[in-house]
């Protein structure tokens, strides 16, 4: 898929939890058609967290934190994240995240994904665990 | 490649042209090993520009502009970019960029890439054109 596409996501300060779904996500690849690389722009208010843990069967994800303070749960570990933290998560690793209650601003980040094939061929490869408690609970 | 990796890129305000190569680039995937998705963090001072045009044979790239004002050359067109502009560029499209001279701050952006295989298998697929003049020249 050659050619190019332009999408105005809005400046970082405008990324708001209210624009997005329950997990604070907006999928850029729903706005412009990407072939191999997917991306979501995300925002959570202080105290907010992902609605569930999830993993991917094939996709590699890069989480690029740009504003606010938060934490990621990665299987049995918890990692603090701040502006500039990049977390690569390979297939099979369960992950979740939150914006810490004392964060000075909303947690804002990009999540980029790809998996060695077109996104269309990979399809929905997510595994959700809605029962697993959050690691900071 | 399962598991996870954490890299501290530094907050957006700390991304500086001086940290990077001549094109203002730092490759996150040289710091943490990614399998499918590559990423660079980029900064250019006002008036700065890419050292050359380039295209890719197989890779799709997403340019995510986060601060400053700039322009991208995309084959025969020029697109203005500002915080929140996302540009998807498919294989074969020649591209270049600059931070406009009157930008209130450095142009800062992420460039994400992937191409339907591991990055290792794709290898170096870039085509440079060091002779083509910049579209704002």
Q: Quick check: is A134 in a domain? A: no
Q: Quick check: is B1 in a domain? A: no
Q: Quick check: is A1 in a domain? A: no
Q: Quick check: is B71 in a domain? A: yes
**Sorting pLDDT into bands at 50, 70 and 90, what band is B99?**
very high
C-alpha B1/C-alpha A110 separation (Å) is 21
Two structure tokens written together for B126: 């870039």
CATH of the domain at A77: 2.60.120.10
User: Is there a contact between A84 and A34 (Cβ–Cβ < 8 Å)?
Assistant: no
Local structure of residue A17 (DSSP, 8 states): G
Mutate to test the interface with A, among B74, B112, B118 (most CBs of A within 10 A): B112
Range of the domain at B66: 15-129
C-alpha A135/C-alpha A84 separation (Å) is 22
Gap from B29 CA to chain A (nearest CA, Å): 10
Gap from B72 CA to chain A (nearest CA, Å): 11
User: What is the ipTM, given to two decimal places?
Assistant: 0.92
CA A136 to chain centre: 18
Two structure tokens written together for B43: 């900064």
User: Is there a contact between B45 and B89 (Cβ–Cβ < 8 Å)?
Assistant: no
Q: Quick check: is B135 in a domain? A: no
- Between A and B, how many residue pairs show a Cβ–Cβ distance under 8 A? 155
Q: Quick check: is A8 in a domain? A: no
Q: pLDDT at position A24, please?
A: 67
Provide CB contacts within 8 A for B71, sequence distance 6+: B78, B79, B80, B81, B97, B98, B100, B135, B136
User: Is there a contact between A40 and A25 (Cβ–Cβ < 8 Å)?
Assistant: yes
Total domains in chain B come to 1
Q: Quick check: is B2 in a domain? A: no
Q: Quick check: is B106 in a domain? A: yes
pLDDT by residue for chain A (137 residues), tens digit each?
Answer: 889 999 999 999 999 887 656 556 889 999 999 999 999 999 999 999 998 999 999 999 999 999 999 999 999 999 999 999 999 999 999 999 999 999 999 999 999 999 999 999 999 989 989 899 999 98
pLDDT digits (tens, 9 = 90+) for B8-42: 999 999 998 876 665 568 899 999 999 999 999 99
């Amino acid at each position: 898929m050659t050619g190019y596409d332009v999408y105005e996501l809005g400046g970082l300060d405008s990324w708001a939890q209210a624009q997005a779904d329950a997990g604070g996500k907006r999928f850029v690849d729903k706005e412009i058609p990407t072939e191999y690389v997917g991306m979501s722009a995300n925002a959570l208010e202080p105290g907010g967290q992902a609605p569930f843990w999830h993993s991917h069967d094939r996709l590699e994800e890069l989480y690029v934190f740009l504003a606010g303070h938060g934490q990621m749960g990665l299987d049995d570990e918890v990692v603090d994240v701040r502006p500039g933290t990049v977390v690569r998560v390979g297939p099979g690793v369960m992950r979740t995240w939150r914006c810490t209650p004392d964060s000075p601003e909303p947690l804002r980040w990009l999540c980029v994904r790809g998996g060695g094939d077109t996104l269309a061929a990979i399809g929905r490869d997510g595994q959700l665990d809605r029962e697993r408690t959050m690691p900071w609970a």
